Amino acid sequence: MSRRPELGYYEDGLNLRSPASYADCEGAVGEAAMLPLSAYRSLEVSWLEDEFLWTREWICIGSQQDMPGAGDVLPYTLGNHGIHVQRQADGSLRGAFNQAQHGGCRTVPDQCQGGSKTHCSFTSCGYSLDRKPLLADEAGGAAMHQYLGLRPERLIPVQVSVSGALVWVNLDASPAAPPVEQSPLRQWLTDGAAWMRLGVHWQEVDCDWKLLAQHLAGVEAPQDESTLIVRGVTDEAEVAWCFPNLLLLRDADTLCMAILQPVGLGKTLCRIQVFSHGGLVAIDAEEQLQTWIKLITRRAQTAVTDYQELMRWDHPAHVLDPFAVYPRQHDRAGLWAQQHWIRRVTRSTQVNHELKLFSPVRNYLI
């Protein structure tokens, strides 16, 4: 494995950038194969997603309620890149890369380089788990400095977009329009100030984010499959999956937002926020929050069970058996999502430089 993208991405004998590696993943529900096992367990794939997904797509990182006052900061790690969004004095939001991508450590500790985000006693960064939002009137100067530095205006900027209550970022210098701007979800997200947040809950799940999202959506027969959003109805809620990491679940009174953030190989942080249009008293608000948490926890447990089964050492997909049947994708929303994933990790990119790189360079120790 190599961290150098010009050398390519390879795992389990597959060229992860080649469409041919995913030929069996196309087709109808029940016939198309799931993604190769490396897509759910490989450190190489996490670097691949960092290069072609988390740094090139519009990613929902939170809500406007996370930063209610001027100076408040919402930290978020996109792939391996530590960024933040700060509320400005005029009420607008500004995004930028953190001043310290490494948490302020003189050298990055070994435990922070193993492909799993670690708990840090100092602050969050590209290697450690994110902390909760920092409020300007509560945060200590040392913690805020790791994000803003002494000259925040000199930090590398990050594109920020707001859709109602939701906050999106994109690390691409010239991104396309956010997906929700022209989607059926527009009616769910307008007038963000009218949404009252009932509560927040962060939950770590021992499952790859792609498989977890598929189970949280739970949509067997989607009503709509637009370019980046799949919508449908389950027996408990109306659901929208905004690829890649945002799940919206809505009933008659409330809206539940679940943001999925990979924090390790086979580990995902599920950031849950529940909203209402108002009219709920404190007791009702807590009851609604717990109802959504129980629903997500129940679906997450099913995802963990499936993930553990997929990762079994004696799973047929792990052995060289010509008669073994690789797992099929029986979830329509899951098939929709894995096809989007394949298109992104295999897309061509333009690199503007004069250095000529040749394929044999991978064979040299440089």
What share of the chain has pLDDT > 70, as a percent?
80
More confident residue, 38 or 105: 38
Q: What is the pLDDT of residue 366?
A: 42
Mean pLDDT in residue range 37-64:
93
pLDDT of the residue at 361:
45
Give the residues across from 97 on adjacent strands.
Answer: 83
Least confident of 12-21, 85-94, 224-233: 224-233
Which tokens hold the place of 238?
Answer: 């109306």
Q: Give the CA angle between residues 153, 154, 155 to the nearest 5°.
A: 95
At 140 the pLDDT is 58
Pick from 113, 16, 2, 130: nearest CA to 76: 130
pLDDT in tens, 225-238: 666 677 766 667 78
pLDDT attached to residue 128: 86
Number of H helices, E strands in the chain: 7, 15
Reply yes or no on whether the pLDDT at 6 is more than 60: yes
- Is pLDDT above 60 for 56? yes
Write down the pLDDT at residue 181.
62
pLDDT of residue 107: 77
Residues 6+ apart with CB under 8 A from 286: 198, 199
For 200-248, what is each residue's pLDDT tens digit?
999 999 999 999 999 999 877 666 666 667 776 666 778 888 899 999 9
As given in the structure block, the two tokens for residue 221 are 């027969």
> Where are the alpha helices (H) located in 82-208, listed in sequence order?
141-148, 186-189
Quote the mean pLDDT of the chain.
83
Asked if the model's pLDDT at residue 313 lies above 80, the reply is: no
pTM of the full predicted structure? 0.88
Res. 100 pLDDT band, cuts 50 70 90: confident
Looking at residue 355, what is its pLDDT?
Answer: 47
Which residues have CB under 8 Å from 109's CB, separation 6+?
Answer: none
Mean pLDDT of 139-147: 72
Residue range 48-63: mean pLDDT, rounded: 93
Rg (CA), the chain: 21
Question: With 70 as the cut, is the pLDDT of residue 342 above it?
Answer: yes
Q: What pLDDT score was predicted for residue 96?
A: 95
pLDDT above 80: residue 3: no
Bond preceding residue 222 cis, omega within 30 of 0: no
Query: Within 10 A of 314 (CB to CB), how many other CB atoms are there?
Result: 6
Q: What pLDDT score does 365 carry?
A: 43
- Which of 25-39, 244-258, 311-325 is least confident? 311-325
Residue entry with tokens 């992860």:
16
Per-residue model confidence (pLDDT) at position 106: 75
Label residue 304 exposed, middle or buried (CB < 10 Å: 0-12, 13-18, 19+): middle
117 close to 108: Cβ distance less than 8 angstroms: no
Q: For 54-58, 72-76, 193-197, which range has the lowest pLDDT when averaged over its residues?
A: 193-197
**Confidence check: pLDDT of 266 > 80:** yes
Which residues partner with 246 through β-bridges? 242, 259
Q: Is the peptide bond before 244 cis (omega within 30 degrees of 0)?
A: yes
Average pLDDT of 149-156? 89
pLDDT score, position 186: 64
